[in-house]
Structure 1
Amino acid sequence: MAVTLKDVATLAGVSVKTVSNVVNGYAFVKADNRRRVEEALAATGYRPNMGARNLRRGRTGFIALMVPELSVPYFGELAGLVITAAQRRDWNVLIEQTQGTRDREQASLASLGPHLIDGAIVSPEALEADDFARLDPGVPMVMLGEHAVDFPIDHVAIDNVRAAQQAVGHLVAMGRRRIAAIGQNPHRGTAALRLAGYRAALAEAGLPESGALVAPALNYHRRDGAEAMAALLDGPEPPDAVFCFNDLLAIGALRAAAERGVRVPADLAVVGFDGTEESAYSLPSLTTVAPDKSAIAQRAVELVHRRINAPGVFPPEDVQTPFSLRIRESTTGG
């Protein structure tokens, strides 16, 4: 039979109310009573009935996480970190995959209501301000990533322009002068910011920008990177370095280079973006911009928690989390 608060109270020699106060984290419990309750909780293996607790609070015990593609390692890794951060607050996470299309993102948001979830963390690629304006105001929401929406909502991201500028600056410092970029896409906020950083680094180094060295990518998958890299290498002035707007594009670029006998990094230096686990195990290992995904997940969950517990009290926050440039074999050779 399930252990009850009364069972714990009897073993600890305190009231049921005292056990409830300890279980719910209330501070005003005598130290000796708290110790006895905690020992009794451990001895009985008591687990709170989260469903009943949430019902009393008018909560569901769930938050939603909306991402474009779980098959993209960045989003898969981020989802795992959000789940871990949410579990620390006794939340379950419902994950919605949108493929980054506006129709799917609109449908996902429309399905989110306070009868299903307590809050949501969304990573959109195509939504516009009007879409957010139609949201149920009873659902606290935090936006992740680089998608710029002129709407008062909490937002957690890194400084993509500065991160891209640092990545390309590293290539310049390694003596590269014909630096290509793979990932231009007018429908991705990510692409615009990372392209701006790429251009800023070239300008700072006094290097001319060549449209022939900026390759588009319809999607950010390995195949797109391989195809774009092949086109660049087959062009009249092949690059001696390439900055890819995510790690999957960069890994595709490494494959295309290997198929053509192009040595990395002797002939071609390659940098990715996202700091995924896969980047450390490519051959050669990939230099990449690594957002602090753990910080992104934790801050997003913290903001949702604050909105749920104090709705309308705090103005929206625009939070920038750290990033680092992980320098590996694809640019240094060692």
Structure 2
Amino acid sequence: MTVHLKDIAAYTGVSIKTVSNVVNGNYEHVGPKTRTLVLEAIKKLNYKPNVAARHLRKAPVGVLAYAFPDLANPYFAEVGEAIVAVANQQGYTVLLDFTSAQRDKELNVLTGLQPHLLDGVILDSHALDLEDIVLNDTQRPIVLLGERLFGASVDHILIDNVAASYTATKHLLSLGKRRIAAIGVQQCRSEAPSLRLQGFIQALTEEGLAVDEALLLEGGLWHRADGAAAMRRLLSLDEPPDAVCCFNDLMALGALSVLNESSYRVPGDIAIIGIDDIEDGRYANPALSTIAPDKHEIARLAVTLLVERIKGTRNGPPECIKAPFRLCPRASTLG
């Protein structure tokens, strides 16, 4: 039976990163007792570094993977399309891997596939922990996307989520809206809800407005049905909101569908804005105002950094880079 670093970690009770440090002779952050414990486990379990995998990883095959969590969310498809376009320009093929936000599937993309099949991975993780993102003899270079795993020892591309929701809320405030609701505030493994809530509250506070807890609604899985259900709850209040900031476009489209079935006018009675700028929103009735992440720049940064790591032309410490975004005001707020 082949013994992996995770087996040594489980046997000794230390992290995979600590085991990796010992295996690779990086003792700076490993105490003598822990080092001895790991070395004894390596000997007892007969662990042998995968030298063949290391060698194969150095021979590029021209294939990258983009692993994403949600096939039903067009945002990930649009980012994937941009990644494929940028990678093709640099001579790479991209394998798209739908993980369903499941830990075993995300781990498989990092360590399960044979090293000679992939040169590197662009990963939008919703299930892994920091200690899982450790480069070892079974892994290839990684670039992270999204609002998780901050501080991982790999390059990370995202947008400023606090600033994005702040900009969306300030837009609603600039239109004279004062009773503004937010949909999608639940806590989950992604930090997007809490970050976007920060920006929402910051904008209200600067305007001297109190935060009404009754106007802060969860968004389930952040799909259309979740936004629709939340909008129905808001309309059942004695005093419904005059605007809603949805933390993604899918929830905004669901909320918009409920308003279109009601007696409320959009945006006259209730204005709606989302985040993501998915294509569906441009053809909604009325067209959806949104915050548009620069998906092409996200793709360009992710592919460029990954290819540079693969080729060894980027050897410095990992970077966390925020891609730009812009406000796209449309009829759902402007009329």
Which of 290, 310, 313 aligns to 2:312? It is: 310
1:232 matched to which residue of 2? 234
* Equivalence map 1:142-291=2 (5 Å): 142-187=143-188, 188-291=190-293
Matched residue type, 1:236: D
**Alpha-carbon distance in structure 2 between the residues aligned to 1:182 and 1:103:** 30
* Equivalence map 1:12-91=2 (5 Å): 58-91=59-92
The Cα shift of 1:137 comes to: 6.2
2:157 partner SS: strand
**Alpha-carbon distance in structure 2 between the residues aligned to 1:275 and 1:207:** 27
Q: Give the superposed CA RMSD.
A: 1.8
Calculate percent identity across the aligned residue pairs.
43
**Alpha-carbon distance in structure 1 between the residues aligned to 2:71 and 2:313:** 30
The Cα shift of 1:105 comes to: 2.4
Counterpart contact for 2:163–2:199, Cα < 8 Å: yes
Q: 1:98 to 1:211 in 2, by over 3 A?
A: same
2:94 partner SS: strand
Counterpart contact for 1:113–1:138, Cα < 8 Å: no
**Alpha-carbon distance in structure 2 between the residues aligned to 1:246 and 1:275:** 9
1:112-139 CA-to-partner distances (Å, cap 9, x unmatched) read: 4522200110011232102213765651
The Cα shift of 1:211 comes to: 1.1
Q: 1:235 to 1:107 in 2, by over 3 A?
A: farther
The Cα shift of 1:236 comes to: 2.3
1:235-274 CA-to-partner distances (Å, cap 9, x unmatched) read: 2221110000111100000011112221100100000000
**Alpha-carbon distance in structure 2 between the residues aligned to 1:282 and 1:127:** 35
**Alpha-carbon distance in structure 2 between the residues aligned to 1:323 and 1:65:** 21
**Alpha-carbon distance in structure 2 between the residues aligned to 1:155 and 1:62:** 20
1:142-197 CA-to-partner distances (Å, cap 9, x unmatched) read: 00112243321101111110111011011111111110000122112111111111
The Cα shift of 1:218 comes to: 1.5
Counterpart contact for 1:118–1:140, Cα < 8 Å: yes
Counterpart contact for 1:128–1:149, Cα < 8 Å: no
Counterpart contact for 1:182–1:216, Cα < 8 Å: yes
2:290 partner SS: strand
**Alpha-carbon distance in structure 2 between the residues aligned to 1:330 and 1:303:** 37
2:133 partner SS: helix
> Greater Rg, structure 1 or structure 2?
1
**Alpha-carbon distance in structure 2 between the residues aligned to 1:97 and 1:185:** 24
1:32 matched to which residue of 2? none
Q: Does 2:99 match 1:98?
A: yes
2:76 partner SS: helix
1:127 matched to which residue of 2? 128
Matched residue type, 1:291: P
1:12 matched to which residue of 2? none
1:292 matched to which residue of 2? 294
Q: 1:111 to 1:79 in 2, by over 3 A?
A: same
**Alpha-carbon distance in structure 2 between the residues aligned to 1:232 and 1:129:** 37
1:51 matched to which residue of 2? none
**Alpha-carbon distance in structure 1 between the residues aligned to 2:289 and 2:126:** 25
The Cα shift of 1:302 comes to: 0.2
TM-score, scaled relative to structure 2: 0.79
1:261 partner SS: coil
